[in-house]
Structure 1
Amino acid sequence: MSTRRHFLALGLGAAGATALGLAGCGDDDDSAGTAAGNGGKDYTGPKVTLNLWNGFTGGDGDIFKKLVDTFNGEHANIAVTVATYRWEDYYAKLPGAVTSGNGPDVAVMHMDMLATFAARKVIAPVDDVATALGLSENDFAPTVWKGGLYKDKRYGIPLDMHPVGLYYNKALFQRAGLDPAKPPQDRAEMEAALAALKGAGIQGFWISPFQFTGGMTAYSLVYQFGGALYNADATKATFNSDAAVEAVSWLRKLVTDGHSPADVGQDADYLALKAGQNAFNVNGIWQVNDLKKSPEVQWGVAPVPQIGSKRAVWANSHNFAIVQQKRTDANKVAGAKVFINWLSQHSLDWAAGGQVPARRSVLEDPKFIALTEAKALSAELPDAAFPPATPGIGDVTNLFYTAFNEAILGKKPPKQALDDGVAKADKLLEDNRKKYGD
């Protein structure tokens, strides 16, 4: 679950922010983003070796490396070497490596980290890649495409989108007299299913007080109820709005009404689903392959039900970025663009690793459509509620998860917990504007 490790890494925010604060690295101009070449269509220069960093430490890493090997086999003048680190180590290590001249040429980066690294000049604009290849919003899901922008410049070429979905235990459905082929799609159906499960002696929806995965469920519902974590320009936190309070209160009520234990341990919600104790678990698409390793578990996955007034879901995206260098090598930059474009076009195999491809052409490929679970969750692409492209936003969002934790555990009423979290978040947003010059 390499994606989860990224978010646990954001919990180390202070260390990461300190490392980034020391960065200030790379050339002051955009020479790395406008280097010689044709933006990724092809490369005819001398042979170059590119170092690529990523955080794919799980099974997805094996799939990624196979794709890189295929690319290398097809390109005699470009050799890509892969260095893999845990996400928390990767993000902390990258700024210092770039400053010392030992950074990679290409980096895989989560969408919510692009603005932070762009502000510190760790990564370079890639607008010319998109322009030369004729890439536009029409080639990708709009939410994913727009997420790669920071201050009107593009810093990421999207590879995928990984949302949360609703996993459900079909055996428990049958025990409660529910149709295992019909997971709930809205609030009424969800509440009816929970009542039926409770009648059969089953606590149907265990709510984890941790970011994984109760916090991500709450994040989704805040937007479903018409709220948002931040205002339009991300200068103020708004996760104490009436909509946000209603969303968190709905989840808290699942605990007080007995649909969930009062204090669910980290990962216990997911393990209980597999063990036949928990009927529902909102979790990431990356769990699909893990569940496939347990043939004894009767399970299904569907889009997160619409509990509020509109559809919305937590999601993130892996993007390719070109790293700033002390001295720009135009040939390496040109070769890096060819690699980024190639892997974006060949992301069907990547989807098998537990991701939704970002590129429309791959989404429409019959081979992707045959990936039943990923195809089901690809329906959530238009509903993805990504965090704003604001430096340091990950640390701020952690304060929402802390407030959610306090509310679900009953340490504070939902309104008070969220109010307290917003007060801290607004202060951190102000500090980040000073730190990153936004």
Structure 2
Amino acid sequence: MDSTNSALRRRRTTQMACAAAVLGLALSGCAGQGAAHSNGGSDKAGGKVTLKFWNGLTGGDRPTVEKLISEFNATHKNIKVQSDPMPWDVFYQKLLTSVSSGSGPDIVAMDAGQIPKYAHSGVLQPIDDFYGADKAVAAKLVPAATQASKFGGKNYGVPTETAPLLLYWNKTLFKKAGLDPEKPPATWSQFEQDAAKLTKDANHDGKPDTYPIALADHETIPMYPVLLWQGGGGVVSQDGKRAMLDDPATVAAVKHWVGLVRDKKISPIGLGGADADKLFQTQKAAMEIVGPWDTTTFTQSHVDYGVTMPFAGPKAQVTSAGVTSFALTSTDPAVKKAAYTFFSWWNSKPAQITLAKGTGFPVNRTDVTAADLKGYPYPIAFGSPQVLKNSRPFLAGLINGPVIQDQIFYPALQRVLNGKGSVESVLKQANAAVQKELATK
């Protein structure tokens, strides 16, 4: 995926449907628009199937993804995967209309959090039978990764990449600040102590030259929601039924972090996900909460960094884990069979080891050991039992999840960060809007 905010990561950006923006619109009017075929499909005479594959895997993981696709094509003479990577915002803008017109992809890789919306609209086909057809692979997949693509009692996806968020810290900046470079903050209070030493304002203009952390407040992965969870709050309850923005624990957590940003200047206001990545990459921020896709970018930029669980809050130490899933748009039986072959191969043990070593992502399988990944610390760290046990998805299974995130939560967060209303009043109004979306079917 790209270096971020186009993706799991930045993949939750503006999206459109039916020639109009999907965000803020119900998709029920577009239901039932599955495609029998697209520009790919089966060659009845030659017996070869071409799978037109759209995805947003355009960042540090792209070379490894392309390598794997080339290897698959070379070893499967009757199937050709034709990959078309594009920025995630473009992907979502084009997907529904292209499928409904028959000119779109046969298979896609997309944020599992987006699957309910597109499954509800009829763009995606249920693929429960994949899990019954290839039990050898299905039995080895990480349960949380397979559950992420369920909607309405059916499964619409197969794992492509799994991406927990961890705290990256810059060891060089820690050392320059007089901190132990091998000891990142483990709690909120330790973070505040370290932040005071990591904030550098060389010309004393009131604007730090180096920030303790880069926190993105829009077009990003759920950095702030992780902080809310740690404080006992959240955007939506874990069962997806109740808005939580006016919960006292949420209000307290927002006040705490908004105060640190505005008064202590621990992070710039107005960062998108890509901006936050850039600050850490250029060593102008000492920490960032982000996923495994950035290990390649930061390593290539010669940043000396470590990764660990985000610092614990007063109520929990928890992080978010996103899943990118393969999904099927075509109803052509030959295309479906070829797609299942590709999905199984991608999740085979050799392919998963190649993906992990090349990208830093953890594997999708439960039978890959640390010995299999010796010399590759990042997939081991992101896939550790502690991380997986304490990870949860953000807005999973909600048709209007992108609306809640991009049109309600992030605008509310930006208002309070910019002092445009009290935390209580802004969050109360946003909470009502979120609850209305949860009630929309």
> Quick one: distance in 1 between partners of 2:76 and 2:216?
48
Q: Indicate yes or no: 2:345 matched with 1:339.
A: no
C-alpha spacing 1:187/1:383, structure 2 compared with 1 (3 Å)? same
* Identity score, percent: 26
C-alpha spacing 1:157/1:410, structure 2 compared with 1 (3 Å)? same
Aligned to 1:361: 367
Using the TM superposition, give the Cα deviation of residue 77 of structure 1 relative to its aligned residue in structure 2, in angstroms.
Answer: 1.9
C-alpha spacing 1:293/1:142, structure 2 compared with 1 (3 Å)? same
Structure 1 residue runs without a partner (length 5+): 33-44, 434-438
CA RMSD of aligned residues (A): 3.0
Residue-by-residue CA offset, 1:100-137 (whole Å, 9 max, x unaligned): 22232211111101111111111111111112222698
Aligned to 1:205: 212
Aligned to 1:410: 419
Aligned to 1:395: 403
Aligned to 1:294: 301
Aligned equivalent of 1:370, options 375, 382, 387:
375
Aligned to 1:83: 84
Superposed counterparts of 1:81-160, under 5 Å = 81-134=82-135, 139-160=140-161
More helix by proportion, 1 or 2? 1
C-alpha spacing 1:170/1:232, structure 2 compared with 1 (3 Å)? closer
| AA at the equivalent of 1:24 | A
> Quick one: distance in 2 between partners of 1:274 and 1:83?
27
C-alpha spacing 1:75/1:153, structure 2 compared with 1 (3 Å)? same
| AA at the equivalent of 1:211 | H
Partner-residue secondary structure (3-state), 1:129? helix
> Quick one: distance in 2 between partners of 1:139 and 1:212?
33
> Quick one: distance in 2 between partners of 1:200 and 1:2?
27
C-alpha spacing 1:269/1:114, structure 2 compared with 1 (3 Å)? closer
C-alpha spacing 1:290/1:199, structure 2 compared with 1 (3 Å)? closer
Residue-by-residue CA offset, 1:192-222 (whole Å, 9 max, x unaligned): 3224445998865245452356x72211022
C-alpha spacing 1:355/1:92, structure 2 compared with 1 (3 Å)? same
Structure 2 residue runs without a partner (length 5+): 38-45, 203-207
Instruction: Identify which of structures 1 and 2 has the higher relative contact order when contacts are C-alpha pairs closer than 8 Å and 6+ apart.
Output: 1
| AA at the equivalent of 2:160 | L
> Quick one: distance in 2 between partners of 1:143 and 1:413?
38
C-alpha spacing 1:138/1:188, structure 2 compared with 1 (3 Å)? farther
Q: Is the Cα contact below 8 Å between 1:269 and 1:281 reproduced in 2?
A: yes
Q: Is the Cα contact below 8 Å between 2:170 and 2:286 reproduced in 1?
A: yes
Q: Is the Cα contact below 8 Å between 2:60 and 2:293 reproduced in 1?
A: no
Partner-residue secondary structure (3-state), 2:327? strand
- Taking structure 1 as the reference length, what is the TM-score of the superposition? 0.84
| AA at the equivalent of 1:210 | D
C-alpha spacing 1:353/1:413, structure 2 compared with 1 (3 Å)? same
> Quick one: distance in 2 between partners of 1:72 and 1:269?
37
| AA at the equivalent of 1:164 | L
> Quick one: distance in 1 between partners of 2:216 and 2:76?
48
Q: Is the Cα contact below 8 Å between 2:199 and 2:266 reproduced in 1?
A: no
Q: Is the Cα contact below 8 Å between 1:205 and 1:254 reproduced in 2?
A: no
Using the TM superposition, give the Cα deviation of residue 289 of structure 1 relative to its aligned residue in structure 2, in angstroms.
Answer: 1.1
> Quick one: distance in 1 between partners of 2:432 and 2:136?
41
> Quick one: distance in 2 between partners of 1:185 and 1:208?
17
Superposed counterparts of 1:12-91, under 5 Å = 12=15, 15-17=21-23, 20=27, 23-26=30-33, 46-91=47-92
C-alpha spacing 1:237/1:116, structure 2 compared with 1 (3 Å)? same
Aligned to 2:205: none
Using the TM superposition, give the Cα deviation of residue 26 of structure 1 relative to its aligned residue in structure 2, in angstroms.
Answer: 4.2
Aligned to 2:41: none
Aligned to 1:39: none
> Quick one: distance in 2 between partners of 1:232 and 1:263?
28
Aligned equivalent of 1:258, options 261, 264, 268:
264
Residue-by-residue CA offset, 1:164-186 (whole Å, 9 max, x unaligned): 22122222212232111111222
Q: Is the Cα contact below 8 Å between 2:12 and 2:402 reproduced in 1?
A: no
C-alpha spacing 1:27/1:262, structure 2 compared with 1 (3 Å)? closer
> Quick one: distance in 2 between partners of 1:231 and 1:142?
21
Partner-residue secondary structure (3-state), 2:419? coil
Partner-residue secondary structure (3-state), 2:232? coil
| AA at the equivalent of 1:390 | L
Aligned to 1:241: 247
Using the TM superposition, give the Cα deviation of residue 95 of structure 1 relative to its aligned residue in structure 2, in angstroms.
Answer: 1.8
- Taking structure 2 as the reference length, what is the TM-score of the superposition? 0.83
Aligned length: 412
Partner-residue secondary structure (3-state), 2:312? coil
Bigger Cα displacement from structure 2, 144-153 vs 272-281: 272-281
Q: Is the Cα contact below 8 Å between 2:214 and 2:279 reproduced in 1?
A: no
Q: Is the Cα contact below 8 Å between 1:170 and 1:300 reproduced in 2?
A: yes
> Quick one: distance in 2 between partners of 1:138 and 1:251?
42
Aligned equivalent of 1:317, options 306, 312, 323:
323
| AA at the equivalent of 2:375 | A
Using the TM superposition, give the Cα deviation of residue 270 of structure 1 relative to its aligned residue in structure 2, in angstroms.
Answer: 4.0
Q: Is the Cα contact below 8 Å between 1:125 and 1:154 reproduced in 2?
A: yes
Aligned to 1:425: 434
> Quick one: distance in 2 between partners of 1:58 and 1:229?
29
Partner-residue secondary structure (3-state), 1:317? strand
